Chains A and B, each alone.
Chain A
């Protein structure tokens, strides 16, 4: 046999202010532990970029310029592979030449990467 819940009793026992306060404290503690673990395991640069990127995504979407957006994409990539954050104004105008043969050491013989990728795509 089912009994309907007495909503008035529920409301009497609910202290909205107390619940909100508890939730806020839990949220803050969770944030504190999250950031302390990030700071403990990664570099300050990486932590800063995560905080910056997260904050900007939440609060600055409308104000984001294409340059800022491009910068965050670059920083996210660098962070992903463990490279240090660079300044938004950093420019290496000779990067194209630096890319040439930069990973030639990975293969000791001449290979055909087009065929390798063709095979990968063909499964």
Chain B
């Protein structure tokens, strides 16, 4: 097989694949990883992606531990609970165990995963370019129904009657930073599952952005 193509993977790709069937987009990215296994791509993993992955795992673990609570809790009871060492340790242990699993696997495979050199420096110009891209773009507004964070039921506000909220969604500083880091690392491709990456003008980023959807 010819030399593998270099691909920067966004955090969503890495975590989704590790979540497997429990992520909604897993089946979209699975064929990509089969190509990786066949040697078509070598995946560039940055410390920036890993930092975001750890934070994401802590969010997922928090939600899971919260959903596992039985019975009902008032706000003050929940505050007391989340400040307890048992709740904190549970979230920390689960997320760290998951993060260690990912690190263990990717550090053992130099053929398919390349951990970026800790000596790599990024210039301020890169962030200046990022600001320029952000300033030229404007996102979209999306409407979300209010939902219970525990059982997903739709909710209405008893006071004002609203049942939805307006949210601004757009490409943001971390997204732009991923895209420009990918270019700085001379990756030929950037793979993501986030559709907002498609709004980044092609001429501004050297890596070809592929949104798996």
**A pairs with B:** yes
* Residues of A bordering B, CB below 8 Å: 69-70, 72-78, 80-83, 86, 90-93, 95-104, 106-114, 116-118, 120-122
Task: A103 to B18: give the CA distance in the assembly, Å.
Answer: 6
Q: How far is the CB of A14 from chain B (nearest CB, A)?
A: 40
Task: A2 to B213: give the CA distance in the assembly, Å.
Answer: 77
Once the chains bind, are B117 and A116 in contact (CB under 8 Å)?
A: no
Once the chains bind, are A73 and B117 in contact (CB under 8 Å)?
A: yes
8 A-B pairs with CB atoms under 8 Å apart are A69-B117, A83-B100, A92-B109, A93-B109, A102-B18, A103-B19, A106-B19, A107-B22
Q: How far is the CB of B34 from chain A (nearest CB, A)?
A: 8
Q: How far is the CB of A115 from chain B (nearest CB, A)?
A: 8
Once the chains bind, are A102 and B105 in contact (CB under 8 Å)?
A: yes
Most buried by B among A77, A90, A108: A77
- For A113, list chain B residues within 8 Å (CB): 12, 15-16, 19, 23, 25, 56, 60
Once the chains bind, are A114 and B12 in contact (CB under 8 Å)?
A: yes
Task: A83 to B114: give the CA distance in the assembly, Å.
Answer: 18
With contact pairs A101-B18, A114-B16, A121-B174 given, residues A106 and B109 touching in the complex (Cβ less than 8 Å): no
The segment out of B91-99, B127-135, B158-166 that lies at the interface is: B91-99
Q: How far is the CB of B122 from chain A (nearest CB, A)?
A: 16
Once the chains bind, are B23 and A103 in contact (CB under 8 Å)?
A: no
- For A122, list chain B residues within 8 Å (CB): 167-169, 172
- For A109, list chain B residues within 8 Å (CB): 22, 67
If over half of B's interface residues share one DSSP class (helix, strand or loop), that class is named, otherwise mixed; here it is: helix
Once the chains bind, are B55 and A95 in contact (CB under 8 Å)?
A: no
Who on chain B is nearest to A66 by CB?
A: B117
Q: How far is the CB of A118 from chain B (nearest CB, A)?
A: 6
Once the chains bind, are B109 and A91 in contact (CB under 8 Å)?
A: yes
Who on chain B is nearest to A57 by CB?
A: B119
With contact pairs A91-B111, A106-B64 given, residues A99 and B18 touching in the complex (Cβ less than 8 Å): yes
Task: A97 to B104: give the CA distance in the assembly, Å.
Answer: 13
With contact pairs A107-B19, A118-B194, A120-B56 given, residues A102 and B101 touching in the complex (Cβ less than 8 Å): yes
Once the chains bind, are B102 and A106 in contact (CB under 8 Å)?
A: no
The contact of A81 among B19, B55, B61, B100, by CB within 8 Å, is: B100
Contacts A86-B107, A122-B172 given; 16 further ones with Cβ under 8 A?
Answer: A74-B107, A78-B107, A83-B100, A86-B108, A96-B33, A96-B109, A101-B20, A101-B21, A102-B20, A104-B22, A108-B64, A111-B19, A111-B60, A113-B19, A117-B56, A118-B196
- B residues 32-52 touching A (CB-CB < 8 Å): 33, 36-37, 50, 52
The contact of A110 among B24, B68, B112, B167, by CB within 8 Å, is: B24
Once the chains bind, are B37 and A97 in contact (CB under 8 Å)?
A: yes
Task: A100 to B111: give the CA distance in the assembly, Å.
Answer: 17
Once the chains bind, are B94 and A106 in contact (CB under 8 Å)?
A: yes
- For A77, list chain B residues within 8 Å (CB): 50, 103, 107, 115
- For B64, list chain A residues within 8 Å (CB): 106-108
Once the chains bind, are A104 and B59 in contact (CB under 8 Å)?
A: no
